[in-house]
């Protein structure tokens, strides 16, 4: 197991950074949706009803 980790440490670190970045992006989108900033069209008759 230790050999696997040492030979693939670069891939493991890269994957961890990508997972954290995607998680942060999703969290940001969810927070924006909760605050009503999810829709950029500004239409009153918008089917998405973001406001």
3-state DSSP assignment of residue 50: coil
Does residue 12 register a pLDDT over 60?
A: yes
Q: DSSP characters for 6-49?
A: HHTHHHHHHHHHHHHHHHHHHHHHHHHHHTT-S--S--TT-TT-
Number of structural domains found in the chain: 1
pLDDT band at residue 9 under the 50/70/90 scheme: very high
Supply the range of the domain harboring residue 27.
1-51
Read off the pLDDT of residues 33-48 as tens digits, 9 standing for 90 and up. Answer: 888 776 666 566 666 6
The answer to whether 12 and 4 have CB atoms below 8 angstroms apart is: no
Backbone torsion region of residue 49, taken as left when φ is above 0, otherwise alpha when ψ lies between -120 and 50, otherwise beta: left
Q: Indicate the pTM of the whole model.
A: 0.67
């Amino acid at each position: 197991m230790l050999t696997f980790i040492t030979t693939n440490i670069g891939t493991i670190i890269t994957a961890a950074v990508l997972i954290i970045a995607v998680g942060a992006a999703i969290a940001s989108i969810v927070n924006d949706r909760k605050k009503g900033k999810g829709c950029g069209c500004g239409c009153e008759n918008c089917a998405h009803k973001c406001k």
